[in-house]
Structure 1
């Protein structure tokens, strides 16, 4: 498409101007049908295309339908008087909120919204007791640290979030790893898989409930050692009413017949369903 449009820009005939001399408002209509990377590419064609590429009418089509509500919650102070293009780049973030325990961003190409909730934003059994947990700095996490479980009899990790998600279908996953490991400055530090125990005796139970009545639950054994894995808890759907939805979620292994340990807990991720299906 890019090659075809570029050739048209230089095309003239005796009946009138070429495509390169279209009025700016007409160019804006064309750009509004392109993806953000394509818009930025064609902004280099000439001054008319560059001027059109800055227009609100172009970038508003790339924003979530309820972007004004999202912006008012996440970055209302820094969004006053800015263009729709700036709002787009602002939402591509990431944007931290709730004392830095949550992060939200928009995927540039699709315009879909994602949210990550740090382990620091969850209620976790014994999380501040060093007999059970360590807090490990690492660049393998968006939040630059993970919680590592040494050993415990009763494990529960639960949380909730209320937000005006754009209409669509979403999945919720827990990002976990069996085995203590971290990276600093690109170098892997430690990999204590011998400390992993107890997860093959009883399954972990995951649950999700939404304020609109949707519920999900599942059980699974944690098996894969040495790699980060997203454990899918369930899906929920957000309607077009632009009202906030509250999501509650949890993971638990509360069978006290044995101890379990060697688990890294990073975060909970809320993302469009197709992102999970495609991973």
Structure 2
């Protein structure tokens, strides 16, 4: 007489076996049987998929949220909260989340965390609140002739052995100009390396120019700045940059939410 695995092994053993796979495999296993579905919801599994320093990172979020996440959520609930919503950390200048398919770390540097040339000159930029942004403020370009935006992130806070892609997250105000006439240079590199590919794209292309940006599910656009391989997560830095230095073309109307850094092929 044939028996399936659920009649031989207790649910705790099935949970342990599933914890040795991947988040994607665990989610697929829920379709096998009710026993697998129950085992797949175990904290034994999702606790193993949380980064070892997850609670330390969350402790940098606002105190009330940090307490709720660590005290009232199961590890399963916390995992999916970080995948679907993430949390703000470092005084609200950065967000932290997880890639749902792999459990690897994702970060987004808000505009306040970026180095933006002339951002504190009122005639050039202004800070504003937008309800669709996860951050309290975004940077809106009033007018500049030369554009330079840079974000730097320490590789030690990222997941090792992972290829990361950096994206500029942005949109345009109703009145905008300059970004359909001149391309911008997009570049990502590890600080200790001279390597890194530069992309030249139009952020607001006309109909006869290829569109390199894409819409996100949160009401913003994103365009790829570049990618890098984080091998060991040593004390290095990844530098992400956007530049357009043609002083003959004024630019206005760009709204920057931040720079999103997540594992390659995570969406």
**Bigger Cα Rg:** 1
Query: Which among 162, 165, 169 is matched to residue 158 of structure 2?
Result: 165
Look up the match of 2:211: none
Over the aligned positions, Cα root-mean-square deviation in angstroms equals 3.6
Q: How does 1:43-192 map to 2 (within 5 A)?
A: 45=34, 53-56=41-44, 58-63=45-50, 67-75=51-59, 85=76, 88-89=79-80, 91-92=82-83, 94-162=86-154, 163-166=156-159, 167-177=161-171, 179-180=172-173, 192=174
Look up the match of 1:234: 226
Q: Is the 8 A contact 2:12 2:39 kept in 1?
A: no
Matched length: 241
Matched, 1:220 2:201: yes
Specify whether residues 52 and 249 from structure 1 end up closer, same or farther in structure 2 by C-alpha distance, changes over 3 A only: closer
Instruction: Give the Cα–Cα distance (whole angstroms) in 1 for the partners of residues 205 and 252 of structure 2.
Output: 14
Write out per-residue CA displacement over residues 14-58 of structure 1, whole angstroms, 9 at most, x where no aligned residue.
x99993574344232354357454678899x57x985885453x2
Instruction: Give the Cα–Cα distance (whole angstroms) in 2 for the partners of residues 154 and 49 of structure 1.
Output: 56
Specify whether residues 18 and 109 from structure 1 end up closer, same or farther in structure 2 by C-alpha distance, changes over 3 A only: closer
Specify whether residues 50 and 230 from structure 1 end up closer, same or farther in structure 2 by C-alpha distance, changes over 3 A only: closer
Give the Å deviation of 1:254: 2.0
**Structure 2 unaligned runs (5+)?**
61-65, 207-213
Query: Which among 13, 19, 23 is matched to residue 10 of structure 2?
Result: 23
Secondary structure, counterpart of 1:215 in structure 2: coil
Q: Is the 8 A contact 2:145 2:250 kept in 1?
A: yes
**Structure 1 unaligned runs (5+)?**
1-12, 181-191
Give the Å deviation of 1:203: 2.2
Give the Å deviation of 1:102: 0.7
Matched, 1:196 2:176: yes
Instruction: Give the Cα–Cα distance (whole angstroms) in 1 for the partners of residues 78 and 55 of structure 2.
Output: 8
TM-score (structure 2 length as normaliser): 0.72
Instruction: Give the Cα–Cα distance (whole angstroms) in 1 for the partners of residues 169 and 112 of structure 2.
Output: 13
